[in-house]
Amino acid sequence: MVGRASRRAAAVRIASDVTNRPMHFHRLRIPLRRSTQLMKRQQRNWLPARWLLALIICLVQPAAVRAQLLYSTNSDGVSVTVVGFTGRPTTLVIPSTVSNLTVTAIGDGALSNAPAATVVLPATIGTLCSFSFANSLVRNLTLPTGITNIGDHAFFSCRSLTNIQVPGSVAVLGDSAFESCSSLTTVTLSDGVGSMGSRCFATCTSLSTLAIPGSVGDVGDFAFLNCGRLGQVTLGEGLSSIGAWAFQNCPLKGILLPASLEEWGVGALVAPNLEVAANPLKSIQVAPGSPHFASVDGVLYDADKAVLLSYPGGRTGPFVVPSGVTTLGPYAFASCRGLQKVTLPDSLTDLGSWTFLSCPLTNINFPPGLTSIGAGVFSSTTLTRLTLPEGMISLGSYAFLKSSLRTIQLPSTLTSIGSFAFDACLSLTNVVIPDAVTSIGIDAFVDCRSLSHVTLPKGLTEIATRTFFNCPALVNVTVPSSVTLVDGSAFGTCPKLTGVYFEGDAPLTAPDAFTGASLARLYYFPGASGWTSPFAGRSALLWNPSITPASDGSSIATNQQFTLQITGTASIPLTIQATTNPVTGPWIPFQSLNLAGGKILLSDGSQQLHPNRFYRVIHP
């Protein structure tokens, strides 16, 4: 598309006239003094013949129009499209014809940013192209009854437009056609209007009521997103589809779904921007005779009542999911700010995804048939403690993203933890991952600011990218021998991480695996291969302590004091534990130290209390 500056250019190259007869540049009578200058600029300023036609047409129009509008001939040769304007008109009157050519369309961006408050369109206009009036100051406009297409972003951000009546001849309301028309208070959709594109009326913050006729087959995704005053919507019988997030953040007082409705978009009524006191939605109803949906006590289900699709966001108090429900739909309870307790039936096998997003839950049960927690199910919830049941095998991505979890007990049957599963769980302090887990996704524990201890499973093969990135409380980690890859920033920005203990051979390790963990030392055990120091930018030491009675004979009890000798690589950290029963324990921490100089004598003055005592050395 040629820019507006080019439309105003003085130099024009002639390719053909309106009858397509060849014309030549030398036929223009141009003063010699100007022709040289024009020829030097012609390559950069030449425009197609249709622009010459625009100038010719302007010469025969009244002065007001000639100064304001530019046209382009359509391919049919008998009609033109408005393609631009000049000056700063306060009123634009679009003629029905120019030089016997019918004006049928407003072109892409033709009147965008126009200052005119009043625009008069002729009955011949059939199409408003993309961005045709975008960001203009139009306030008064009547759409002609024969118009058939309103293009994408046609009236985008026309902030002065207060009302619009869409004729029944319109087959398509394009994507974002009236998005961000913040002064639009009245929209009349005539019977006959066809589909409504995505974000069609999004962020029309003054719109309070709307009736959608049955001729509208589809309401697009995000169609009324953030219409913060839209409290009443009437859906006509004939509507077949409501897109995802269609009424997100709309303060609807209630809604009646027509029996003709066949498709329900995820999150269609979710209102994350509304606190419970500001969300009036208490009931979702379905017209009698619907073959696809049902409403029970104002809660939306599929026709068989096996899938709970949407719970009204303005309700408060506990809720018991009816027996027979097997599935919770995506975002079914999302942003239900008054929901603190949910009881799930034994029939439930699928929790869906993002189901309880931003719910202030304090209590929930898990049915025995539940085997997985889907993506984002408990994201941003207020649950602080959870014990997941045996039989559960997977946690989906974002399962507990930004939740308030402090502790969680994972079942021994768990085999996988999805990406971002515990991302930004700021209060989580300790996690023991069962040995059956073989896969932990990227960023699984990123930004867990309080996580000080984690036990990795014996079958884990990879510590993925950013798994423990920015865990500032993490001090020590033991990496099982099954791990063959430590990926980029796996332990990045863990400033307190001092010891990483590898139980096997040196894994393939990204150079930046420990970036931002400047205190970290890597330790490996006797018999392991592939280790060098430095390794991945950090020093690597053999962790090889040996504990024996003192060689000088002081290991023999003297005044009930027993002395041990510990040797090994200098500076390796040790934790000494003691017990009176090495089979049943418990092993009690006795002393923690660094093996300075590679040798230390350890005395236990409590032998008089424990005549039979055993010792062992472990890493921190």
pLDDT in tens, 114-163: 999 999 999 999 999 999 999 999 999 999 999 999 999 999 999 999 99
- Return the higher-pLDDT residue of 563 and 616: 616
* Mean pLDDT to the nearest integer, 310-338: 96
pLDDT of residue 450: 98
Assign residue 141 a region: left if phi > 0, alpha if psi is -120 to 50, beta otherwise? beta
pLDDT of residue 456: 98
How far apart, in whole angstroms, are the C-alpha atoms of residue 131 and residue 386?
51
pLDDT of residue 553: 44
Nearest alpha carbon to residue 578 among 614, 618, 617: 614
Give me the residue spans of the domains in the chain: 270-367, 546-618
pLDDT band at 606 (very low <50, low <70, confident <90, very high): low
Nearest alpha carbon to residue 218 among 198, 204, 203: 198
Which run of H or of E encompasses 231? Answer: none
How far apart, in whole angstroms, are the C-alpha atoms of residue 474 and residue 514?
13
pLDDT of residue 608: 56
The pLDDT of residue 595 is above 80? yes
The pLDDT of residue 578 is above 90? no
How far apart, in whole angstroms, are the C-alpha atoms of residue 223 and residue 216?
13
Give the distance from CA 569 to its chain's centroid: 49
Nearest alpha carbon to residue 144 among 163, 117, 109, 168: 168
How far apart, in whole angstroms, are the C-alpha atoms of residue 441 and residue 489?
13
* Residue 535 DSSP symbol: B
Taking all residues of the chain, what is their mean pLDDT, rounded to a whole number? Answer: 87
Q: Kindly indicate whether the domain formed by 270-367 is annotated with CATH number 3.80.10.10.
A: yes
From residue 198, alpha-carbon distances to 162, 202, 262 in Å are 21, 8, 18
Neighbour tally for 501: CB within 10 Å: 19
pTM of the model: 0.82
How far apart, in whole angstroms, are the C-alpha atoms of residue 327 and residue 345?
10
∠ Cα 569 572 574 (to 5°): 120
Give the distance from CA 357 to its chain's centroid: 13
CATH number of 546-618: 2.60.40
- Answer for the pair 466, 489: CB distance below 8 angstroms, yes or no: yes
The pLDDT of residue 614 is above 90? no
pLDDT band at 612 (very low <50, low <70, confident <90, very high): confident
In three-state form (DSSP H/G/I as H, E/B as E, the rest C), the secondary structure along 453-468 is: EEECCCCCCEECCCCC
pLDDT band at 359 (very low <50, low <70, confident <90, very high): very high
The pLDDT of residue 14 is above 80? no
How far apart, in whole angstroms, are the C-alpha atoms of residue 511 and residue 530?
15
pLDDT of residue 21: 31
* Mean pLDDT to the nearest integer, 193-207: 97
One-character DSSP codes across 310-348: E--TT-BS-EEPPTT--EEPTTTTTT-TB--EEE--TT-
Candidate from 83-97, 200-214, 403-417 with smallest mean pLDDT: 83-97
pLDDT of residue 418: 98
The pLDDT of residue 200 is above 80? yes
The pLDDT of residue 271 is above 80? yes
The residue with tokens 């999911």 is 321
